Amino acid sequence: MPDVDITSVTVGAAGVGRLDDGRVVFVSGALPGERVEVEVTEHKERFARGVAVGVYEPVALGRRAEPCPFVAEGCGGCDLQHAHEDLQVELKRRIVLESLERLGRCVDPVVEHGPALAPLGYRTHLRVRIVEGKPALRARGSHDLVPIDACLTAHPLVDELLAEAHFADAAEVTLRVGARTGERLALVGPRVGNATFPADVEVVGFDQIAGARRAWFHEEVAGERFRISARSFFQTRPDGADVLVAEVDDVVGEVAGSMVDLYGGVGLFAATVGKGRDVILVEQNRSSVADAKANLDGSRARIVRARVEDWKPSRAPVVVADPARAGLGKTGVAKVAATEAERVALVSCDPGSLGRDAGLLAAAGYDLVRSRLVDLFPQTSHIEVVSRFDRR
């Protein structure tokens, strides 16, 4: 097995080095500045992938033993536990910086750290597979499953269900809780069957949802209460959602007037940043649109159920966009530009898509002012960034 010097880190938190034949190798479990022994697991013509099986020169004050015992058993839920939290967020900042420079062609981009969030016990949304009646998460780089009975990153209201619920013959279960309301929901697939949960848990099967049964819980963020249906997206921690709202509000700043909220979900930004404004919220998911109508009742928001790609743009001085992992893309950027907004707040959950979107927005006349990392998912390589773009 080759020894490799790790020089940087890439999306997915893999260390980057070179094999003796000159090919780039992406090494999971390796950190910049280390020399590691690598088990190569995938060979390609121009690159390879591998796993660090030995560390000769660990990063001082950076590497640690993973605090979760299930990581040693192969659980892939947390792929950055081998780095201390301070190093984790700095690595993520570097990944964002490199993506903006390489993919976005941004010159000297400003990438800042956001407020620190609790590193453990935060996840209010956890999807598990069920193996012989026990919850399980996927192994690293595999479809294999690792049974668990606890999770260090799960909120206590979720962690309690991992230990106390009886999953019976279910195939998978999604556990969702309102950390600030105490409400809990379990979505069980393919059907509830013999699964049992504590009395306070709203339990619903995939078959029931498909049959038009509605089930939801509530969460509170930035002083607002949100209804969140079983199939609706919502941020996985309310303290993190607080920070996202504050960061987007800071980007919008002093710009007055109406606001367009693209990929608006259940109305998180429309109900908070857009409070007191005329807002057009665009969202395609039926469940989220129903929640948004409930959450924004009495506000000045107009909700449009449509794909952003199919939406006919309206002029507005402010655009907030929170797209899925693929980002805005060419069509989404064209829709943003058609609003003639003077300020754009872009919430990105993938550094690669952020880099590409930054380049597309620059071509459309929008300059990147700064990006700020919001570390919603400590212990993992997941990256969330709020960026400000001003019309040139």
Give one DSSP letter per residue of 59-85, joined into a string.
Answer: PTTTB---S-HHHHTTB-S-S-TTB-H
Number of H helices, E strands in the chain: 9, 22
Determine the pLDDT at residue 45: 86
Give the rounded percent of residues in the chain with a pLDDT score beyond 90: 88
* Close Cβ partners of 348 (under 8 Å, ≥ 6 residues apart): 323, 327, 354, 357, 384, 385, 386, 387
Supply the Cα-derived Rg of the chain in whole angstroms. 22
The Cα 356–Cα 326 span in angstroms is 10
The Cα 270–Cα 278 span in angstroms is 9
Mean pLDDT value of segment 327-332: 97
This prediction has a pTM of: 0.94
Determine the pLDDT at residue 207: 95
Q: What is the torsional sign of CA 69, 73, 76, 81? A: positive
Mean pLDDT value of segment 318-325: 97
Mean pLDDT of the chain: 95
Low-confidence winner among 20-24, 171-175, 352-356 (lowest mean pLDDT): 20-24
pLDDT(61) > 80: no
Domain boundaries, the chain: 3-63, 86-118+233-391, 125-220
* Fold of the 86-118+233-391 domain: Rossmann fold (3.40.50)
Exposure string of 115-152, with b = 16+ CB inside 10 Å and e = fewer, is: eebebebbbbbbebbbeeeebbbbbbeeeebbbbeebb
pLDDT(60) > 80: no
Q: Answer with the residue of higher pLDDT: 57 or 346.
A: 346
* Close Cβ partners of 112 (under 8 Å, ≥ 6 residues apart): 93, 370, 371, 372, 373
* Fold of the 3-63 domain: OB fold (Dihydrolipoamide Acetyltransferase, E2P) (2.40.50)
Mean pLDDT value of segment 244-270: 97
Determine the pLDDT at residue 236: 96
Q: How far is CA 175 from CA 160, 183, 190, 195, 226, in A?
A: 11, 11, 14, 13, 17
Determine the pLDDT at residue 144: 92
- Number of Cβ within 10 Å of residue 332's Cβ equals 23
Amino acid identity for residue 177 in this structure: V
Determine the pLDDT at residue 12: 82
Instruction: Give the model confidence (pLDDT) of 66-120 as tens digits.
Output: 999 999 888 988 999 999 999 999 999 999 999 999 999 999 999 999 999 999 9
pLDDT(59) > 90: no
pLDDT(131) > 90: yes
Determine the pLDDT at residue 4: 93
Q: What is the torsional sign of CA 143, 149, 152, 156? A: positive
Mean pLDDT value of segment 39-50: 90
pLDDT(141) > 80: no
Q: Angle, nearest 10°, between helix axes 329-338 and 351-363?
A: 50
Low-confidence winner among 9-13, 176-180, 220-224, 234-238 (lowest mean pLDDT): 9-13
Mean pLDDT value of segment 263-279: 97
SS3 state at 157: helix
Determine the pLDDT at residue 248: 98
